[in-house]
Amino acid sequence: MTNASRKCVVIHNGSCSTVAGFSNMELPKCIIPSSYVKRNNDEKRIFGTFEMLDETEKNESTSNVYTLIDGRGYPYNWEDLEAQWRYIYEEHLKVSPAELPLVISVPASNGDTDMKIMEKFFDLAFNKLKVPILQILIEPLAIALSMGKSSALVVDIGARGCNVTPIVDGTVVKSGVMKSKFGGDFLDYQITNSEFFNKEYDATNLSSCEMWFSSNTWLQQFKSTMLQVSDKNYSELERYYELQRQQQQQQQQAFPNFALNPLTQKKNFLFKKSKTVTLELRDSYKLAESLFEPKDALKAQGESQVQSHSQPHLQQPASNIGLSELMSKSIRKAGAGVSSTGTLGGGGTGASLTLNEKGSQHNTNASSNSQLTNGVANPATSGITSEQVYSLLLTNVIITGATSLIAGMEQRIINDLSIRFPQYKLTTYANQIMMDRKVQSWIAMNSMSNLPNWELGKWYTKQDFDLLKQSQSHKN
C-alpha cells in the first residue's frame, strides 16, 4: 500500500467518551459517549450524545444506561462494542469497515497484555467487521511520541480515574504505571453529596438514566465553571489567608471589616431554572482538593460508599492515593525499575502494540521496526541512573484528560512536584485549547497513523490473528 492512498479510520474508546474519525482530517467526525441506553422491552441500543440526552431526560423506569469500558480502560461488553463501532461507521463515518484500515488504542498497563482482550479485538475487527488491517496503539505512548517526546510522564486525568504513565526512551516503564480511581466521576460523587446539592438532589436514589443525564449536563458545567484547584494544599491555603487577614486587621484597626478573607468570595451556579446555588471560593477549592487529598473526602463520606458515579456497579483495581502522591510514586518506581535492571521491563520502543508468536507483548521501534521481546535490555538505557530517569520524566510532564481542564490544575501539579523533587528542573505540557485537550488521545493516534511510512507502525492482518489463535491453542 502506498502512502498516497493512505486513509485510516481512527477510533479511541475512553471510559467516558469515544472519539472517531479519519486519519486525513484534523478533527474527529464524532465524539459520543462510551455508553448507550436500552429499554427493557426493546432490543435497540441508543448511541450518540443527543440521542442519549433525549432518552435519559425522559427518565423512564424501563430505560437503563449501560457502559462499554471497564475500570482498567478495556472493553468488557464486546457485543455492545461491536454495535457501537457499527453505529460509528454507519451514522458518522459513512463508510464500510471493510474499506479502510483501522487504528485503535489500549491503555498502558503494568502487567502483560491480556491476550484474551487482544483476541477479542482481533475477532471484532477481522471476523465481525471484516476490517482489512488493524493497528493497536498504546494510548499514553502515542500521546508522548506524537508530541515529539521519547521520554515523558503522561498524566491523564479522565472520568474513571487518573492514569500516570512513565515513558523512557520510547518505552512504557511498566513498574511505574500507576492508576487511581479519583477522576471526574469521583468529583461528580463529591459534588452531588455535598451540602449544596444533597437536599436538592438525592444521589443515593437515582436511576442510571438520571445519573448519566446529570453527569453529562449540569455536573460537567459545574466542574468547568465553579471548581478551582488551589496552588497549594487546601489546609495550608486556609492558614495562609487567615494569617493574612489577621495581619491586615492589625494594620487597619480603624476599618476592621475591610480585612476580608478572599476565600469567602461568593460564586453562583444556576442549578435549576429557579434555583441558584451559592458557594464560597473555599468550597470550590475544597471540592477540587478531593483529587489531591481523597482520604479526607473518603473519611467524610465513608470509604465503602465511594463508587464511580456514572458506573456504580464497577469495581476499580486502582490505588487509593491522591494525584500528587500518585505522580511521585510513579516517578520513583520508574527510576528504581529502570536503574536496577538497566531494562525498561516493557520491550522496545514505538507506539504500536506488538505481539510475538508466543503471545507476549512488545513494541516495535519506530525507526528500525526491530522486534524486541519482553524484558530485553534497550542499549540506549542500560546503566541509566534513577536520577537521570527522574530528570527525563520531570522535564516532560504531559497533562491530559478533560478533568485536567479544571482551573489551576497545571500550577498545582508543578508546585506539588517541585516540593517532592526540589533539585530537578520541571517542565509541563498541557494543551491550552479546551477541545484539543478533550480529544488529545485521538489527535495523538491520528498523528501516529500518519507516520511517513506504513512500515513504521505494526499493522495486523487476519493471517496474524489466525497465527495468534494457533499459538494460543498450542499453549493450552
Applying CB under 6 A, the residues found at the interface with ligand ATP are 14-17, 73, 156, 158-160, 183-185, 220, 223-224, 401-403, 405-406, 438
Closest CB 12 distance from ligand ATP, rounded Å: 8
State which residue, 16 or 168, has the beta carbon closest to ligand ATP: 16
State which residue, 160 or 362, has the beta carbon closest to ligand ATP: 160
Q: Do residues 476 and 174 touch, judged by C-beta distance below 8 A?
A: no
State which residue, 71 or 101, has the beta carbon closest to ligand ATP: 71
Q: Do residues 11 and 87 touch, judged by C-beta distance below 8 A?
A: no
The number of CA neighbours under 13 Å toward the Cβ of 103 is 31
Q: Which residue has the cell 494460543?
A: 472
State which residue, 185 or 283, has the beta carbon closest to ligand ATP: 185
CA distances from 400 to 8, 107, 280, 376 (A): 24, 14, 28, 30
Task: Name residue 456's beta-bridge partners.
Answer: none
Closest CB 221 distance from ligand ATP, rounded Å: 8
Closest CB 308 distance from ligand ATP, rounded Å: 10
CA distances from 131 to 8, 116, 422 (A): 11, 19, 50
State which residue, 134 or 439, has the beta carbon closest to ligand ATP: 439
State which residue, 145 or 318, has the beta carbon closest to ligand ATP: 318
The stretches of 176-305 forming alpha helices (DSSP H) are 184-192, 208-216, 218-226, 234-251, 281-289, 294-301
State which residue, 181 or 282, has the beta carbon closest to ligand ATP: 181
State which residue, 181 or 362, has the beta carbon closest to ligand ATP: 181
Closest CB 443 distance from ligand ATP, rounded Å: 13
Nearest Cα neighbor of 100 from 9, 4, 1, 5 is: 9
Closest CB 399 distance from ligand ATP, rounded Å: 11
The number of CA neighbours under 13 Å toward the Cβ of 212 is 27
In angstroms, the CA 445 to CA 143 distance is 7
Q: Do residues 104 and 121 touch, judged by C-beta distance below 8 A?
A: yes
State which residue, 89 or 212, has the beta carbon closest to ligand ATP: 212
Nearest Cα neighbor of 374 from 112, 132, 164 is: 112
In angstroms, the CA 327 to CA 101 distance is 36
Closest CB 165 distance from ligand ATP, rounded Å: 12
Greatest alpha-carbon pair distance for the chain in Å reads 87
C-alpha torsion sign, points 212, 215, 216, 218: positive
Closest CB 55 distance from ligand ATP, rounded Å: 19
In angstroms, the CA 23 to CA 409 distance is 31
Q: Do residues 394 and 425 touch, judged by C-beta distance below 8 A?
A: yes
Closest CB 154 distance from ligand ATP, rounded Å: 11
Q: Do residues 309 and 185 touch, judged by C-beta distance below 8 A?
A: yes
Closest CB 22 distance from ligand ATP, rounded Å: 20
